[in-house]
A and B are shown apart, each in its own frame.
Chain A
């Protein structure tokens, strides 16, 4: 935090402590609450560093230490222009971080083949796929096969026990039980699974487990074996771990204490760490990396506007992680290949990419939609006699889900002038748009056999029968509607300007959209050059969403994040887990969704846990400066406050915040009784990380002060 010394600190102090009278008159220290009167744009415009802070607050996930100075040196307009051209930005620091997750750079098929989903494992159990030859990959598969089969057996046994316990069960109930899990292919209690895959070894292992009732209660790995493992080179260690069969492998991993685990992983390359994670649970490993990678980009990317816009579009084109078991794999590509490349480009290209993405076609059920008069439906009707006992006798048909949300949420908006008839017509246009072999991670495919023949008419526009091309016409039609320009401009203005954006601003942005063929960068440029964006009444007035709050706290504190899962967990608690929104409308950008008691409690607890290094694998050194500079004055409450406030709240802290924090800081004795972070529960994997020595008194006091500042009302806004 050396960079805070010298000119920047002096300048911040100048801005914070002694604003020139004119500025002070225009920008009262008490921030306006959201929803207060409409500001007068002409007379109250931001000046000086407040413009820089406004830009950093809105176009990034929050300023890092030194950002204000860097933007000032570069010039605000030039900085914004560079943010619109992310190719020109040095991302080498981010790439270093991204190298932690090699799987996130691979194709969906490759990730799925190497780190199989549970759906793929069940295909193998059912004899519809084979285990790969490679010994390590094979171990990953075998471990997961064992776990799923064990789960199925347990379930079957439980049901059997239940049925025996209550023989008077209504027939309906026992039927429910027998097919309780649609997705799981039930292992019947009787015959062993009939796949080509080692049914016998599975049974043998089960017997072994049954014969060892005390397994798990005693350490499965005795000390010499563990020491032997550690003595091996990383590559040999991974080989050795892969050679341990189930259930011994799981028992051993679960018996490890956090320091042991850390030693086991010590020296492993990222790819080797992925293998160990996959040996434990491949689907979970991929899901965790997916969420971690998103936070990693938000925190560490220098192309912040690109990340902000990627996040914006991921929310606009929301997808839920747990729609099915393939989704975590498809989302790897959805973020990387579908959204990010177009986040600052033409909206129509983005819309096209989303419409061709397996993730969206699966999420909104378009893969299920079949034209009622299509070749596939006709064939179904013709061959119905061959399936006299099949459950489904009616031919497959239209599913309206994607057709509707494409208009309501993705383009023209709910008031965009379409009717229920248009929804059905759009769904007909899109029949046949699907995914090739989704269980293997295949890509987009247009299936002409499922496409509904005939001319369609959407919102008064005729779309002649033309196969896949009809969908292209529909997307073009929707992307170029004035209603779409309005709908998107308004959503952008809400994200970047205010919960109640001024209509003239939205109109101006929409006009740019129409004039530039939906150029997102051009629309953002219009926003940047509009007086409404620089109105002092809206300065620091947007309430942060949980994602913005968590990421901005990590950025401001300069935290070193080795483990992103505590951040994911905090977002889950605050109700905004990435890819965690089930309905397709995504999370709200408005304050009303996020200001309430429960959320506030979660934010304060997160602030304390983060600042005092209670989140495993996340480390902040508040006292860097004090420790490394022998000439620095002896720390006192005043010096520490003067040092930490500009760091965490570069726009300054309200007097009430300063006073409360300082009072508490002064009261803090060496023997403090605070228990920060007790309520952010460390995730199970936190055990991978070593505990550090307890902080000394100054560190503890810095942590407390920082926690109070991050949890303050001032930090809740941007």
Chain B
């Protein structure tokens, strides 16, 4: 029997939770070969509100960058130089060592090809994986897990796809059951004791027998997950290797994702989002609104990486935002809705220490519609490579229908 990675994940879950904790119907059989490397997990972070990529990964050799951003540009002397052309915003100090060690890759001038400047449409398009197609009801990550099932259907647990937050995001919506929780410690019904309370059992029976299809399914998923998490005893969690998470919503989410990954609950795909990027007004430069956001962002991810320790080798983390912001600063010390952006890809298997993608330039005639960074890499090109190499999703037409991704054109960053 080939030892595939899901078998590994599943065994991990069993070892911790005990066989009794996983109802047999959840354990889908049929082991098969996987294209991916074993035990890979994917963490997806969505920066909602459109992060200002030009001040995140700064093209500090571009004269026009400084001309277009008189009050908010990051001076050349302040950037954390990456390659003599790009530099990180100084608040991203936690990213610098990861880049230098070759774990962190950056793709610039990247994003969704949709020209929508609506946050909500653009987020939907990015999450559905079908830019400019409104009718898509499922998310690319859910379909990636479906594609994985087709090529190599195996066991999975209630924690296979998990979102930290109050609701399942569109990215994870679809046939594969996904779990949403905002606090692993609070994820229990009627008390935190070592055994479920009778009331919880009554609820479980009530939902299990319900003819209400939606709540029947939600109830089943809920109580399975509650049981597994109870066995993993999340209240005892201590970050490892001296990892210090910022005391912020995002820091907390990253800590809990690390916690779930390390508890061997069978997590394959984890999602969380981080808000506060819509900097129309007074976004600041080296300091200020965006700087504070970025410090929280990079310190949380840095702590996550440190916390995972050896296990970080099996984790790939990718960030995205619905679009970039205008190359020019606006009249109120901020930036308006733009186009291309920068993505981060972090992981043990990532060929980091490099800024990928073709740089379109920032001269006035090189801008998209005369106002934004032009797009040279479709974000699906990056995600397609990531899901192929991590989840083993081979049929990319399922993951990104209509994109006709050509693996020979992957950036080869994983």
| A interface residues (Cβ-Cβ under 8 A, vs B) | 30-31, 33-36, 170, 172-173, 175-176, 179-180, 182, 365, 368-370, 372, 377, 391-401, 404, 408, 414, 420, 423, 543, 573-576, 582-583, 585, 591-602, 604-605, 608, 654, 656-657, 659-661, 663-664, 667-668, 672-676, 678-679, 704, 707-708, 711-714, 716-717
Are the CB atoms of A398 and B330 closer together than 8 Å? yes
- Closest A residue to B75 by CB, please name it: A172
Contact pick for B203, options A395, A396, A604, CB 8 Å: A604
Are the CB atoms of A708 and B203 closer together than 8 Å? yes
* B97 interface hit (Cβ, 8 Å): no
The interface bits of chain B over 33-45 (1 if a CB of A lies within 8 angstroms of the residue's CB, else 0) are 0000000000000
Interface of B is mostly: loop
Contact pick for A399, options B191, B207, B331, CB 8 Å: B331
Contacts A601-B188, A663-B202, A676-B191 known; 19 new A-B pairs at CB < 8 A: A172-B90, A182-B282, A182-B288, A394-B70, A396-B332, A404-B117, A404-B118, A575-B166, A576-B166, A583-B49, A592-B168, A597-B179, A597-B187, A599-B167, A660-B205, A708-B199, A713-B210, A713-B215, A713-B216
Are the CB atoms of A663 and B205 closer together than 8 Å? yes
CB distance from A418 to the nearest CB of B (A): 11
Are the CB atoms of B190 and A608 closer together than 8 Å? yes
- Closest A residue to B121 by CB, please name it: A414
CB < 8 Å A-B pair total: 230
The interface bits of chain B over 210-235 (1 if a CB of A lies within 8 angstroms of the residue's CB, else 0) are 11111110110110011000000000
Among the listed stretches B309-317, B333-341, B373-381, B400-408, which one makes contact with chain A, having 4 or more residues with CB under 8 Å of it?
B333-341
B contact residues, range? 35 or more
Are the CB atoms of B206 and A598 closer together than 8 Å? no
Are the CB atoms of B206 and A673 closer together than 8 Å? no
**Docked complex Cα distance between A599 and B280 (Å):** 32
Contact pick for A573, options B165, B186, B192, B332, CB 8 Å: B186
Known contacts A573-B186, A592-B173; is-contact A180 B287 (Cβ 8 Å)? yes
15 contacts between A and B (CB under 8 A): A33-B214, A182-B289, A377-B331, A396-B331, A404-B118, A573-B186, A583-B120, A585-B120, A591-B214, A598-B167, A598-B182, A654-B210, A674-B198, A708-B206, A712-B206
From B215, B218, B226, B295, residue with most partner A Cβ within 10 Å:
B215
The 8 closest A-B pairs by CB, nearest first: A397-B331, A575-B166, A664-B202, A656-B209, A660-B206, A675-B191, A30-B211, A713-B215
Contact pick for B331, options A34, A369, A420, A673, CB 8 Å: A369
Question: A365: which B residues are within 8 A, CB to CB?
Answer: 280-281, 332
* B181 interface hit (Cβ, 8 Å): yes
* B353 interface hit (Cβ, 8 Å): no
- Closest A residue to B289 by CB, please name it: A182
Question: B330: which A residues are within 8 A, CB to CB?
Answer: 397-400
Are the CB atoms of A678 and B210 closer together than 8 Å? no
**Docked complex Cα distance between A661 and B202 (Å):** 7
**Docked complex Cα distance between A182 and B90 (Å):** 17
* B180 interface hit (Cβ, 8 Å): yes
* B389 interface hit (Cβ, 8 Å): no
- Closest A residue to B91 by CB, please name it: A176
Are the CB atoms of A659 and B209 closer together than 8 Å? yes
* B197 interface hit (Cβ, 8 Å): yes
Question: A393: which B residues are within 8 A, CB to CB?
Answer: 70-71
Are the CB atoms of A596 and B167 closer together than 8 Å? yes
CB distance from A546 to the nearest CB of B (A): 9
**Docked complex Cα distance between A121 and B193 (Å):** 46
CB distance from A592 to the nearest CB of B (A): 7
Question: B394: which A residues are within 8 A, CB to CB?
Answer: none
Known contacts A170-B90, A604-B203, A673-B197; is-contact A31 B212 (Cβ 8 Å)? yes
Are the CB atoms of B189 and A601 closer together than 8 Å? yes
Are the CB atoms of A595 and B166 closer together than 8 Å? no
Are the CB atoms of B281 and A660 closer together than 8 Å? no
CB distance from A4 to the nearest CB of B (A): 23
Question: A170: which B residues are within 8 A, CB to CB?
Answer: 90, 93
* B268 interface hit (Cβ, 8 Å): no
Known contacts A654-B211, A713-B219; is-contact A583 B284 (Cβ 8 Å)? no
CB distance from A653 to the nearest CB of B (A): 10
Question: B153: which A residues are within 8 A, CB to CB?
Answer: none
Contact pick for A398, options B167, B210, B331, CB 8 Å: B331
CB distance from A562 to the nearest CB of B (A): 25
The interface bits of chain B over 60-100 (1 if a CB of A lies within 8 angstroms of the residue's CB, else 0) are 00000000001100000010000000000011010000000
* B11 interface hit (Cβ, 8 Å): no
**Docked complex Cα distance between A593 and B292 (Å):** 30
- Closest B residue to A597 by CB, please name it: B222
CB distance from B98 to the nearest CB of A (A): 17
The interface bits of chain B over 326-365 (1 if a CB of A lies within 8 angstroms of the residue's CB, else 0) are 0001111110110000000000000000000000000000
Known contacts A393-B70, A599-B180; is-contact A176 B291 (Cβ 8 Å)? yes
**Docked complex Cα distance between A377 and B331 (Å):** 10
CB distance from B228 to the nearest CB of A (A): 11
Known contacts A176-B90, A543-B214; is-contact A597 B332 (Cβ 8 Å)? no
Contact pick for B286, options A175, A575, A678, CB 8 Å: A175
CB distance from A95 to the nearest CB of B (A): 34
**Docked complex Cα distance between A353 and B282 (Å):** 27
Question: B189: which A residues are within 8 A, CB to CB?
Answer: 601, 604-605
**Docked complex Cα distance between A573 and B291 (Å):** 28
**Docked complex Cα distance between A420 and B115 (Å):** 10
**Docked complex Cα distance between A704 and B206 (Å):** 14
Are the CB atoms of A679 and B191 closer together than 8 Å? yes
Are the CB atoms of A675 and B190 closer together than 8 Å? yes
Question: A604: which B residues are within 8 A, CB to CB?
Answer: 189-190, 200, 203
Contact pick for A713, options B120, B168, B202, B206, CB 8 Å: B206
From A175, A392, A654, A713, residue with most partner B Cβ within 10 Å:
A713
The interface bits of chain B over 245-289 (1 if a CB of A lies within 8 angstroms of the residue's CB, else 0) are 000000000000000000000000000000110101110101111
Known contacts A663-B202, A708-B202; is-contact A182 B284 (Cβ 8 Å)? yes
Question: B120: which A residues are within 8 A, CB to CB?
Answer: 408, 414, 583, 585
- Closest A residue to B278 by CB, please name it: A583
Question: A576: which B residues are within 8 A, CB to CB?
Answer: 166
Are the CB atoms of B218 and A595 closer together than 8 Å? yes
Question: A172: which B residues are within 8 A, CB to CB?
Answer: 78, 90, 93, 286
Are the CB atoms of A679 and B192 closer together than 8 Å? yes
Are the CB atoms of B210 and A596 closer together than 8 Å? no
The interface bits of chain B over 152-196 (1 if a CB of A lies within 8 angstroms of the residue's CB, else 0) are 000000000000011110000100001111110011111111000
- Closest B residue to A658 by CB, please name it: B206
**Docked complex Cα distance between A676 and B276 (Å):** 36
- Closest B residue to A401 by CB, please name it: B280
CB distance from A600 to the nearest CB of B (A): 5
Known contacts A598-B182, A605-B190; is-contact A674 B199 (Cβ 8 Å)? yes
**Docked complex Cα distance between A573 and B186 (Å):** 10
**Docked complex Cα distance between A369 and B280 (Å):** 10
Contact pick for B180, options A591, A596, A704, A712, CB 8 Å: A596
Contact pick for B292, options A180, A599, A664, CB 8 Å: A180
**Docked complex Cα distance between A401 and B209 (Å):** 49
Question: A182: which B residues are within 8 A, CB to CB?
Answer: 282, 284, 287-289
Are the CB atoms of A30 and B182 closer together than 8 Å? no
- Closest B residue to A708 by CB, please name it: B202
Question: B186: which A residues are within 8 A, CB to CB?
Answer: 573, 601-602, 679
- Closest B residue to A705 by CB, please name it: B202
Are the CB atoms of B336 and A399 closer together than 8 Å? yes
The interface bits of chain B over 292-316 (1 if a CB of A lies within 8 angstroms of the residue's CB, else 0) are 1001000000000000000000000
From B166, B199, B275, residue with most partner A Cβ within 10 Å:
B199
**Docked complex Cα distance between A377 and B332 (Å):** 12
Question: A654: which B residues are within 8 A, CB to CB?
Answer: 210-212
Contact pick for A678, options B178, B190, B287, CB 8 Å: B190
Question: A679: which B residues are within 8 A, CB to CB?
Answer: 186, 188, 191-192
CB distance from A99 to the nearest CB of B (A): 34
From A173, A393, A604, A674, residue with most partner B Cβ within 10 Å:
A604
**Docked complex Cα distance between A716 and B330 (Å):** 46
